Chains A and B, each alone.
Chain A
Amino acid sequence: MNWQAFFAMGGYAFYVWTAYGITFLVLALNVVIPMVQRRQFLRHLAMKQKRQRL
């Protein structure tokens, strides 16, 4: 397996790898963002509950 030839994609490296890069960036963001939002919201809820108990 020739890695250099593989990454060159027959001269279309820029187009192919940019397409794959953007795809997985968007897919990753669409999963990570709601997970971060949920963690933040849970922390916010916990704080609120703590305050109510005091």
Chain B
Amino acid sequence: MDTIVTAGKLNNEEIFNLLKQFITEVIGEEFAEEMDISMESSFNKDLEMDSIEIVAFSEKIKAHFGDKIDFTGWLSDMDIDQLIALKLGMIVKFIETCQ
């Protein structure tokens, strides 16, 4: 079981590293290593996550940050062009603002 960490707010870089770790866990190290995961990585295109992987990634965010960060709700309110333009950096920023 993942535990909910409540201690202190994370800065941008810490959030990024955490998300990178979640992505690696979800898609597998072999595939993650091939990608140069950065703040600029497009969530859908560069990381090539399918819906099942996105669900797994969302669950990791929820397990770590708890209910104060509604990542799935935030995603589901996007229109199609916003989804296409979604970058990892935007998720970092969203989490930073919410925590």
Q: Do A and B come from one complex?
A: no
